[in-house]
Amino acid sequence: MNILFCGDSHAEDGILIATLSLLKNASAPLHLYILTMQAEGYEAFNEQAFNLIKKIIKEKDPNNTAELIDCTELFKKEPPRANMETRFTPYAMLRLFADQIPQIPDRILYLDDDIIIRKDISDFYDQDLTNTELVGVLDFWGRFFFHNIHTHKTFDYLNSGVLLLNMSEIKKTHLFAKVREKMSDKKMLLPDQSALNKLATEKKIAPRCYNEQYRLRPDTKIQHFTTSFRFKPYFHTLTVKPWDIERVHGVLKLHEYDDLLKEYTKLRPQLKRS
């Protein structure tokens, strides 16, 4: 199972937790690709953190692999100029360079750093991708406000935190190249997610259980700890990340992943730079 992560030093905790959850639930060997870069005002994903993740997956199965890929030069050549001042860091956009990286395989699952794999996802990963650029789940809130102006579908706006990518088809349709160009020219609210939804012409919509963005449900296979809205006791946004264990317990009242988070807590000191 090929997995794609992207991020700077702030992604290290989340990617460690996501990796632990993959090891717990994946039956096939794992091949992790972590994209990072050097950028002013940010620290790249640390090699010490990467080596820890690589060590953990190798201990589980010697066939597991991990690769840390520096995308600095790729980013410099095609920066998303119009969207550099958004609330999203430039690292969130690194996945859009996957078509320029030779070692990225044709089938790969992109995951944000704030997800936890709860159950086996091999059925999702192994699905037929013929004439398909990507597969994702509807954005929990965005599905009500955005639609594809070309197809006039009202419910086809995907959340980009979990995307099964068909890289051979993406290269054929030049999807990522078109998205990079759009992000360079036009400022958008949710830059890469909006551009992907506007430009992807061959996408599949998967069931909600593969990217649960609101609250844990019995059939949830992937839980995404994204920012959401709450209406009680008053309207407000709510953001709780998996590595903020006190708030996972206190705010979300969630203990589903206590064994996983206990393991993460033991390993976390090894993430720190020496």
Note the maximum CA span of the chain: 53
The pLDDT of residue 219 is above 70: yes
Q: Which of 10-14, 80-84, 215-219, 260-264 has the lowest mean pLDDT?
A: 80-84
Alpha-carbon distances, residue 215 vs 96, 208, 230, 251 (angstroms): 28, 11, 11, 12
Q: Kindly report the pTM of this predicted structure.
A: 0.91
50: domain range?
2-227
Q: Note whether residue 63 is domain-resident.
A: yes
150, with CB counted inside 10 A (0-12, 13-18, 19+), is exposed
Higher-scoring residue by pLDDT: 228, 248: 248
Q: Flag whether 233 is in a domain.
A: no
**CA–CA dist 21, 224 (Å, integer):** 12
The confidence score (pLDDT) of residue 90 equals: 85
Is position 260 within any domain? no
Whether 258 is covered by a domain: the verdict is no
Kindly report the CATH number assigned to the domain that includes residue 158. Answer: 3.90.550.10
Q: In this predicted structure, what is the pLDDT of residue 229?
A: 55
Return the amino acid letter for 67: E
94-127 confidence digits (pLDDT tens): 999 999 999 999 999 999 999 999 999 999 999 9
Percent share of the chain, pLDDT over 70: 85
Helix, coil or strand: residue 212: strand
Q: How far apart are CA 57 and CA 53, in angstroms?
A: 6
Q: How far apart are CA 162 and CA 177, in angstroms?
A: 20
- Split into its structural domains, the chain has a count of 1
Do the domain assignments include residue 254?
A: no
Tell me how far apart the alpha carbons of residues 15 and 115 are, in angstroms, rounded to a whole number. 8
Distance in angstroms (rounded) separating the CA atoms of residues 274 and 257: 29
pLDDT at 43: 93
Computed over every residue of the chain, the mean pLDDT equals 89
Q: Are 22 and 222 in contact, with CB atoms under 8 Å apart?
A: no
Q: Is 235 within the bounds of a domain? A: no
Q: Return the closest-CA partner of residue 179 out of 242, 244, 92.
A: 92
137-160 pLDDT, tens digit per residue, is 999 755 545 555 455 455 688 999
Contact 228, 140 (CB under 8 A): yes
Query: Quick check: 86 pLDDT over 80?
Result: no
Q: Tokens 């859009």 identify what position?
A: 96
For the chain, the residue count is 274
By C-alpha distance, which of 46, 22, 201 is closest to 121? 22
Please indicate, yes or no, if residue 267 is contained in any of the structural domains. Answer: no
Q: What is the pLDDT of residue 142?
A: 54
CA 181/CA 79 separation, integer angstroms: 9
Is 247 inside a domain boundary?
A: no
